[in-house]
Amino acid sequence: MSVTSGFAASMAPVLFKAGCPDCRARFELSAGALRLAIGGSHRTTFYSFTCPECGTAVRKPAGERIVELLTGGGVSTLRLHSTVRNV
């Protein structure tokens, strides 16, 4: 995952470079095409998107740097909360 941004005379939207593990296509996605889920651990923190080439739902882990890039680029974020019940 990497970020491409344009700082021309007009502010261009941020685009994120990504790839599909199924069809191996490489492409750029807008912030609206990505979703970020932040959980309580590295196992439950991930980003997801649908491959524009083959339609596969892709889910990849998101470390601290990826979370920083995605949130800074305007990607919609969902915070996951665990439900703990005392019995």
Mean pLDDT of 14-30: 96
Q: Which segment of 9-23, 26-40, 56-70 scores lowest on mean pLDDT?
A: 9-23
Mean pLDDT of 41-47: 91
Residue 2: pLDDT over 50: yes
Residue 21: pLDDT over 70: yes
Element (H, E) at 66: helix 64-72
Predicted model pTM: 0.76
